[in-house]
Amino acid sequence: MSRLPQRIVCLTTETVEVLYALGEQDRIAGISGYTVRPPQARKEKPKVFAFASGDIAKILAVKPDLALTFSDLQADIARDLIKAGVPVHAFNMRSVEDILGMIETLGRLVNAEARAQALVGELEAQIAAARALAAERLARNGGHRPRVYFEEWDEPLISGIRWVSELIEIAGGDDVFARESHAPLARDRQPTPQAVLAAAPEIIIGSWCGKRFRPERIAARPGWAELPAVRDGRLHEIKSAIILTPGPVAIREGLPLLQAFFDM
């Protein structure tokens, strides 16, 4: 009899993405309603929870032998599942290294270590290639890194989380709020409009979680029309499902988008 989990509930999209990538999707018994990758997961797997809310009875109905959660935002459901007797593994990715570590850990949990290491190797190779291209660009530009302001939310302003800041650096940019990105909570990543103005970003990237980025709203903020990014029309969007998901997609798809913006 196998001691490996056979009925896993994934309450965030990145663990679904990884289990499918490892060929272990048959172990998934339920997913979050916010799961987007891979697309077939939404058709094949029952949706048993949202992200921070839902009915624990729907989770228990699929008889999970392991639940995978993410961060303090799912602390309450993790607690309730533990009280109900369900084993829980709570991931808490904050950096690119954390994302790679999550893949390795998930590989060990389902006895797919070799495939997990291969996936990590592919992502590490992509990161190394991006660094090399960034170094070439920097050499051509006299070592100048474009100053980048990444905005996760507009009301209030929330700047980029750590893995986003690191991807900006890998792609050859300079996150103007890199220090703040290490803060564990979004409430600690809330720059004032004056701080953004003082940073004078040359590129602004919006990823407003759950709604479309509106560059015209950026330009209409008092004083922001004079920012280099606004003046030069370097306002870009990366969908939150890509760059704000702490899984392979952030590296596979988010990093190339950043590189493209910096090459413009």
CB 189 within 8 A of CB 159: yes
CB 87 within 8 A of CB 29: no
Query: What class is the 8-92 domain?
Result: alpha beta
CB 237 within 8 A of CB 216: no
Residue extents of the structural domains in the chain: 8-92, 118-263
pLDDT, residue 168, reads 98
What's the rounded Cα separation, in Å, for the pair 86 and 76? Answer: 14
Q: Do domains 8-92 and 118-263 have the same CATH topology?
A: yes
pLDDT, residue 1, reads 55
What are residue 84's phi and psi, to 5 degrees? -85, 0
pTM of the model: 0.95
pLDDT, residue 185, reads 86
What's the rounded Cα separation, in Å, for the pair 60 and 168? Answer: 40
Low-confidence ranges of the chain (pLDDT < 70): 1
Q: How far apart are the first and last CA of the chain?
A: 56
The superfamily (CATH) of domain 118-263 is: Nitrogenase molybdenum iron protein domain (3.40.50.1980)
Tell me: the pLDDT tens digits for 60-82? 999 999 999 999 999 999 999 99
pLDDT, residue 75, reads 96
The two tokens of residue 204 are 């602004």
DSSP lists the bridge partners of residue 45 as none
- 3-state SS of 1-66 is CCCCCCCEEECCHHHHHHHHHCCCHHHEEEEECCCCCCHHHHHHCCEEECCCCCCHHHHHHCCCCE
CB 203 within 8 A of CB 236: yes
What's the rounded Cα separation, in Å, for the pair 28 and 233? Answer: 44
